[in-house]
Chain A
Amino acid sequence: MKTKTILAALGGLIVSLQFATAGDITGKITVSGKPPAELEIKAVASDVNCGKLHSEPVHTRFYVVNDKNELADVFVTLKGISGKSTGASAPPLIIDQKGCEYVPYIGAAQTGQKIVVKNSDPFLHNVHPTPVNKAGGNKEANMAQMAGGADLNFTFPAPENFLRFKCDVHPWMFSYINIVDHPWFAVTGKDGSFTIKNVPPGKYTIVAMHRKAAPAPAGVEKEIEVTAEGAKVDFVLEAK
């Protein structure tokens, strides 16, 4: 009994010590070369329902890049770590369906983390995740979600990169969610930057992956050392 309490206290101490000394990995991702022009998704405008929600043409989102060549929607993660998922206690990842598009287009969640899919449109969508890692236990499903319908919940038990969600009513609607079994990952924002929080000090391989920018989708790997102050690492991906 006593030893148990001591052990627990010790454990708690180690964990908090770790967090105390853990650092954040930050960085920025840019793209070299000229990304191809995005295509207009003409089917949106011609759809009776979806067309009404857009006054401007809707385009594909392969390269979300700004004038400084900073690349959004890059998935950045530590490599070779598994079984460290805190997904069960992590707040859910929210995916919205808005104007017949999935938002976000690229996302990430942990194994066991709740993924909540909402429908902000005044009509029906089908939420259809199509995992590839079925052997790992990730399950395909195809669920209708009416206007104002209840949120749909998904969890995936196995890691998988760019797990595709689609809607078969609107066959251009996609979202790609990376499933990781540890908490150290991020998706770059509009300015190409990312932050991976609370990484215990040590040496790691970090990888940045994009669906299209080379090398795709394997991504670019770098070796880094994280100290109590964290680490900083930038990547350049290539548009070919």
Chain B
Amino acid sequence: MAQTKDTSHHPWLHRFAVLTALFTLALLGVGGLVTSHGVGMAVPDWPNTYGYNMFLFPISKWVGGIFYEHTHRLVASFVGLLTAMLAVWLWVVETKGRTRKIGALVILGVLLLMGGLMGVREHKVFLGLAGVAAAGMCFSIYQFQRDGYELRWLGVLALATVILQGVLGGMRVVLYKDELGIFHATLAQLFFALICGVALLTSSWWRRNVPLSPSQTKSRSKAAAFVSRNLRSLLLATTAVILLQLVLGATMRHQHAGLAIPDFPLAYGKLWPAMDAESVMRYNQQRQEITAAHPITAFQIGLQMTHRLVAVVILIGVGWCAQRLRRELGGKHPLTRLGWFWLATILVQAALGAFTLWTNKAADVATAHVLVGALSLVTGALACIIAFRQSAPLRAAPASAAFDLTRPESGARPVAAQK
């Protein structure tokens, strides 16, 4: 196997990854609007739209909730296409000869297959597809770390994820499983983080800011300073808590229980709301829900209280991360700046959470809360990726050199070259 090229030599590949990330963010926005408006089921069939092939569904019929749901499906298809292109591109850049041809053909074949499946109604086929996509995700993660962290496997991972994501979305509609929306929302956030990760790893910034060995750091730029082990753990843990928070948020949204507690900062006028059966009954009596009319439960009240408490934990965690980054790396280090940006996203996010309640869950505010939530997760994930590369101290050169992405200056990939 011979991979001689380095992905970061491809500015257009990087730009394409950024473009895919931007469209993914837009997709998160449209998807968020679908849920915010409570119209996830506005198009009862899938993959067809009211019996039409989804790309031929007449614009005159895009009304009410159908507008959001149908737009979501179209943008999602487009992001799927971009993802397949990104996967092919990464593959072609990193391989040669037969591997290159076969891989690219396989990816294109998968894309055609997806197009072909548009006419299928059989639920079993889609369940099978979801299984294959999930297996594909596991396989590509395995290959990614086995093959010396070659980005092409992230491309394959992204493609498998987007397929699973699409099938989850569709199954949710045809199986009436609103709960699947929780996975769909969570996977969407992870997918966005993945694409942003690819964008980072293909950037010239990533290539230029190679970590140095301890002896080099003393004399060289601050950008190459090390992140201590404790701080790395803190970054990772905080990011994980944000992921948890997204899952909690998605659960609230898909139970249409965002307003299970309507007031903030108090909860039903108290620091901790009563959740006994009688109180819950009274809350339901007093609720004046215009959409998503469903009685709320004690569980859903507890869920929102947990979400609030976790928000406090995140705020402290991210604030602490930013502070520690500044101490370890200095105020000018890009990672420190990223830390401050991260803190800003969290503050905005907390404010949007509060405004979601104060506006009685205005759809645009709730959707902004989803989007900034995604940004805060991605910021944490990127900070982790950067910090883990800047881990100190580096081990003896050969072993860590295998981590070719961390050391592009080492030229050809030692691990791959050995094979």
A, B from the same assembly? yes
A residues 74-115 touching B (CB-CB < 8 Å) = none
Chain B 279-312 near chain A by CB (<8 Å), digits 1 or 0: 0011011101011111100000000000000000
Contact between B39 and A168, CB atoms less than 8 A apart: yes
B294, chain A: closest CB distance, angstroms: 7
Contact between A123 and B65, CB atoms less than 8 A apart: no
B residues 291-340 touching A (CB-CB < 8 Å) = 291-295
| Residues of chain A lying within 8 A (CB to CB) of residue B41 | 126, 128, 142, 168
Instruction: Kindly state the separation between the CA atoms of A43 and B67 in the bound complex, as whole angstroms.
Output: 14
Instruction: Kindly state the separation between the CA atoms of A214 and B281 in the bound complex, as whole angstroms.
Output: 8
| Residues of chain B lying within 8 A (CB to CB) of residue A215 | 281
| Residues of chain A lying within 8 A (CB to CB) of residue B293 | 164, 166, 174
B37 interfacial by beta-carbon distance below 8 Å: yes
Residue of A nearest to B256 (CB): A171
Instruction: Kindly state the separation between the CA atoms of A240 and B40 in the bound complex, as whole angstroms.
Output: 33
| Residues of chain B lying within 8 A (CB to CB) of residue A174 | 293
Instruction: Kindly state the separation between the CA atoms of A32 and B291 in the bound complex, as whole angstroms.
Output: 26
Contact between B295 and A169, CB atoms less than 8 A apart: no
A residues 16-50 touching B (CB-CB < 8 Å) = 36, 38-39, 41, 43, 47-50
> DSSP majority for the B interface?
loop
| Residues of chain B lying within 8 A (CB to CB) of residue A50 | 64
B292, chain A: closest CB distance, angstroms: 7
A208 interfacial by beta-carbon distance below 8 Å: no
Chain A 206-240 near chain B by CB (<8 Å), digits 1 or 0: 00000011111110000000000000000000001
Residue of B nearest to A62 (CB): B288
A154, chain B: closest CB distance, angstroms: 14
| Residues of chain A lying within 8 A (CB to CB) of residue B63 | 47-49, 123-124, 169
Residue of B nearest to A38 (CB): B288
Instruction: Kindly state the separation between the CA atoms of A215 and B290 in the bound complex, as whole angstroms.
Output: 21
| Residues of chain B lying within 8 A (CB to CB) of residue A169 | 39, 42, 63-66
> DSSP majority for the A interface?
loop
Q: Which of A48, A168, A215, A216 has the most CB of B within 10 A?
A: A168
A204 interfacial by beta-carbon distance below 8 Å: no
A197 interfacial by beta-carbon distance below 8 Å: no
A143 interfacial by beta-carbon distance below 8 Å: yes
B387, chain A: closest CB distance, angstroms: 43
B269, chain A: closest CB distance, angstroms: 14
Contact between A216 and B285, CB atoms less than 8 A apart: yes
| Residues of chain B lying within 8 A (CB to CB) of residue A65 | none
Contact between A240 and B286, CB atoms less than 8 A apart: yes
Contact between B286 and A144, CB atoms less than 8 A apart: no
Residue of B nearest to A174 (CB): B293
Residue of A nearest to B277 (CB): A218
B residues 190-206 touching A (CB-CB < 8 Å) = none
B38 interfacial by beta-carbon distance below 8 Å: yes
Contact between B61 and A124, CB atoms less than 8 A apart: yes
Also in contact, A214 and B285, with CB within 8 A (given A39-B290, A164-B294): yes
- Which of A41, A48, A124 is close to B290, meaning CB atoms less than 8 Å apart? A41
| Residues of chain B lying within 8 A (CB to CB) of residue A38 | 288
Contact between A240 and B285, CB atoms less than 8 A apart: yes
Contact between A143 and B290, CB atoms less than 8 A apart: no
| Residues of chain A lying within 8 A (CB to CB) of residue B64 | 47, 49-50, 169-170
Instruction: Kindly state the separation between the CA atoms of A171 and B292 in the bound complex, as whole angstroms.
Output: 7
Contact between B291 and A212, CB atoms less than 8 A apart: no
B residues 57-72 touching A (CB-CB < 8 Å) = 61, 63-66, 69
* Further pairs besides A39-B288, A144-B44: 6, Cβ < 8 Å: A38-B288, A41-B290, A124-B50, A124-B61, A126-B41, A170-B65
Identify 26 residue pairs between A and B in the complex whose beta-carbon atoms are under 8 Å apart, listed by A's number: A39-B288, A41-B290, A49-B63, A60-B290, A123-B63, A128-B44, A140-B176, A142-B41, A142-B44, A142-B173, A142-B176, A144-B45, A166-B293, A168-B39, A168-B40, A168-B41, A168-B65, A169-B63, A170-B64, A171-B291, A174-B293, A212-B284, A214-B281, A215-B281, A217-B295, A240-B286
Q: Nearest 9 pairs between A and B by C-beta?
A: A169-B64, A168-B42, A142-B44, A168-B41, A171-B291, A171-B38, A140-B176, A169-B65, A216-B285
